[in-house]
């Protein structure tokens, strides 16, 4: 979706043309036909509502659309404006119209608020039709551009920042959407190169031999059943003070999770192509940060593996030695995410001594049982970091809800044969998974773990996404960087 700014006053005959209106405040200058269409559609300007009508203007037929921005004083006004933009693209995406002009002439919206409308419009328009060869004309997206007219001074600059964010979210969605025969550790790395080379992000990749030399027995144990070579992808963005400690984002990148020898049941197993959603979010936020030249030092690390059953796969009961030196009894080969993350986190601490670590992972089905698809789970050893992430979640729309941790949960993963086992009992499954990762975090290191299992994929359209990959994670991390690491 192109966002174009058009200069000068708008001709009366431009069609289709849209306006954002506040709730219960339909502009008086609209034609009676438009007002009647709004009434007939029960359109009151609530966030996310849209309607349209055809009117005669200067001898031409003009399609006029309205989108609701909700209550002008609402505290979630930004989200409401995103929904207004999203409602417009959802309505016009396959309408046959190639361009939609949004007329902000006379608006009371600030530049950042207009940018929110545009962000919602762009994000909601994203879809991935690469593998559809038989779409008929009416099913194909027709809308190629949003033209912005009459926006207040400063909107283009505000939009440039949000456009970078949109690129990051879209990159994540692409990675999450690609099937596992296309996206596997090596091809994930290739795509990262393709999108990040030239942006100022420095990429490094550790291969199997290098990881073996470092003693990453847990990560490599997961990879052992797959013919796909594992990779540790490292992306560095140094936009902050020279020599300043980076903040590290670490992503679970299981490009397909069959469960391994603890094989998952067939129903729904195809979903496990998006078991790399944490890594996808990390790659996406690195792109966003670089594109908007964030004034912060951030490093993104993705542990990329495929979890397969095989003659060479690891077995339940195997004991692996992690890079930290701690040993793990692998009770269930399907609890593989934590095995990938523990070595990725150990390496991150040794390599970067970061200021803080935030890991993201589609780690447990139990997280979806707890929180559904509304909040990602937040686990943290540091209240300040937790508070900042919760605030970033609220502000960005990638919402988080804090979960408990503690020693009573921790002892549930003690093992009779090794330092720990990789699963606890069924109860509190997301918490024991977090406790497991916590055992690899150095004393004094601020750390948060985001279990985003319920968030990276949607079975129905949402606020600013169609069904499919949501891009969850990019926005909360970007907002966390903006509000806490920059300026
Ligand atoms: N990738 C899954 C978690 C998951 C399940 C994410 C469903 C999204 C949807 C993870 O690797 C896994 O298999 N976890 C197990 C852990 C269990 C064996 C302790 C789970 O949640 O069942
Ligand atoms: Mn699994
Ligand atoms: Zn998994």
Q: What is the pLDDT of residues 1-53, one digit of tens each?
A: 999 999 999 999 999 999 999 999 999 899 999 999 999 999 999 999 999 99
For 450-478, write each residue's pLDDT tens digit: 999 999 999 999 999 999 999 999 999 99
User: Residue 275: CB within 6 Å of ligand 1?
Assistant: yes
User: Residue 150: CB within 6 Å of ligand 1?
Assistant: no
Confidence of residue 306 (pLDDT cuts 50, 70, 90): very high
User: Residue 364: CB within 6 Å of ligand 1?
Assistant: yes
For 338-369, write each residue's pLDDT tens digit: 999 999 999 999 999 999 999 999 999 999 99
User: Residue 257: CB within 6 Å of ligand 1?
Assistant: yes
Distance CA 300, CA 238 (A): 11
pTM (two decimals)? 0.98
Residues above pLDDT 90, as percent of the chain = 100
Indicate the burial class of 95 (C-beta count within 10 angstroms; 0-12, 13-18, 19 or more).
Answer: middle
For 128-168, write each residue's pLDDT tens digit: 999 999 999 999 999 999 999 999 999 999 999 999 999 99
Centre of ligand 3 from the C-alpha of residue 434, in Å = 14
Distance CA 243, CA 246 (A): 9
pLDDT recorded at residue 487: 80
**Mean model confidence pLDDT for the chain:** 98
Ligand 1 atom having least distance to the Cα of 272: 1
Question: Quick check: 120 pLDDT over 90?
Answer: yes
Centre of ligand 3 from the C-alpha of residue 247, in Å = 25
Ligand 1 atom having least distance to the Cα of 424: 19
Residue bearing tokens 């290098």: 210
Ligand 1 atom having least distance to the Cα of 362: 6
User: Residue 429: CB within 6 Å of ligand 1?
Assistant: yes
Q: Are 439 and 322 in contact (CB under 8 A)?
A: no
Question: Quick check: 119 pLDDT over 90?
Answer: yes
pLDDT recorded at residue 266: 98
Distance CA 337, CA 306 (A): 10
pLDDT recorded at residue 89: 98
482 is catalytic: no
Long-range own/partner contacts, residues 31-38 (CB < 8 A, 24 or more apart): 31/55, 31/57, 31/64, 34/64, 34/66, 38/66
Average of per-residue pLDDT across 323-327: 99
In which region does residue 406 sit, left (phi positive, over 0), alpha (psi from -120 to 50) or beta (all else)?
A: left
Listed in order, strand segments (DSSP E) in 270-375 are 297-307, 318-321, 327-330, 356-361
Average of per-residue pLDDT across 176-192: 99
Centre of ligand 2 from the C-alpha of residue 390, in Å = 26
What structural domains does the chain harbor?
2-149 (3.40.220.10), 163-484 (3.40.630.10)
264 is catalytic: yes
For 249-292, write each residue's pLDDT tens digit: 999 999 999 999 999 999 999 999 999 999 999 999 999 999 99
Q: Are 471 and 282 in contact (CB under 8 A)?
A: no
Q: Which residue of the set 338, 421, 475, 479 is catalytic?
A: 338
* Nearest ligand to the C-alpha atom of residue 457: 1
Confidence of residue 110 (pLDDT cuts 50, 70, 90): very high
Centre of ligand 3 from the C-alpha of residue 7, in Å = 50
Q: Which residue of the set 264, 293, 295, 439 is catalytic?
A: 264
Confidence of residue 385 (pLDDT cuts 50, 70, 90): very high
Average of per-residue pLDDT across 55-71: 98
Centre of ligand 1 from the C-alpha of residue 387, in Å = 27
User: Residue 366: CB within 6 Å of ligand 1?
Assistant: yes
Order of all β-strands in the sheet with 202-206: 202-206, 231-238, 297-307, 247-257, 356-361, 447-451, 376-380, 400-402
């Amino acid at each position: 979706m192109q966002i174009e700014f058009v200069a000068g006053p708008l001709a009366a005959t431009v069609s289709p043309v849209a306006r954002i209106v506040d709730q219960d405040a339909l502009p008086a200058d609209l034609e009676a036909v438009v007002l009647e269409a709004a009434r007939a559609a029960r359109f009151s300007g609530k966030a996310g509502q849209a309607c349209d009508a055809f009117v005669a203007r200067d001898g031409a037929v003009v399609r006029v659309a309205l989108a609701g921005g909700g209550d002008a004083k609402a505290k979630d006004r930004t989200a409401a404006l995103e929904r207004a933009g999203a409602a417009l693209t959802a309505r016009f995406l396959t309408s046959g119209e190639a361009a939609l002009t949004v007329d902000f002439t006379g608006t009371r919206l600030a530049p950042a608020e207009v940018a929110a409308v545009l962000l919602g419009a762009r994000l909601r328009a994203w879809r991935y039709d690469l593998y559809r060869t038989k779409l008929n004309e009416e099913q194909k997206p027709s809308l190629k551009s949003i033209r912005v007219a009459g926006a207040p001074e400063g909107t283009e600059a505000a939009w440039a920042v949000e456009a970078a964010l949109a690129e990051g979210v879209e990159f994540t969605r692409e990675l999450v959407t690609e099937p596992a025969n296309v996206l596997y550790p090596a091809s994930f790395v290739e795509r990262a190169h393709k999108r990040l080379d030239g942006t100022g992000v420095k990429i490094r990749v550790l291969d199997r031999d290098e990881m073996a030399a470092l003693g990453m027995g847990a990560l490599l144990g997961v990879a052992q059943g797959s013919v796909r070579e594992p990779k540790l992808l490292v992306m560095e963005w140094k936009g902050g003070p020279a020599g300043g400690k980076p903040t590290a984002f670490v992503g679970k990148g299981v490009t397909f999770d069959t469960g391994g020898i603890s094989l998952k049941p067939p129903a729904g197993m195809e979903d496990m192509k998006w078991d790399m959603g944490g890594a996808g979010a990390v790659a996406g936020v690195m792109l966003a940060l670089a594109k908007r030249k964030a004034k912060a030092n951030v490093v993104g690390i993705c542990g990329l593996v495929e979890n397969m059953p095989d003659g060479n796969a690891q077995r339940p009961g195997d004991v692996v030695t992690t890079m930290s030196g701690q040993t793990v009894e692998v009770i269930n080969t399907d609890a593989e995410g934590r095995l990938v993350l523990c070595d990725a986190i150990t390496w991150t601490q040794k390599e970067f001594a970061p200021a803080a670590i935030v890991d993201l992972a589609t780690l447990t089905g139990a997280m979806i049982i707890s929180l559904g698809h509304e909040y990602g789970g937040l686990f943290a050893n540091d209240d300040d970091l937790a508070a900042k992430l919760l605030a970033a979640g609220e502000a960005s729309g990638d919402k988080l809800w804090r979960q408990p941790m503690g020693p009573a949960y921790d002892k549930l993963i003690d093992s009779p044969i090794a330092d720990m086992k990789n699963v606890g009992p069924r109860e509190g499954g997301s918490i024991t998974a977090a406790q497991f990762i916590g055992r690899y975090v150095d004393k004094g290191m601020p750390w948060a773990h985001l279990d985003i299992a319920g968030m990276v994929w949607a079975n129905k359209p949402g606020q600013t996404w169609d069904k499919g990959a949501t891009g969850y994670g990019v926005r909360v991390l970007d907002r966390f960087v903006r509000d806490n690491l920059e300026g």
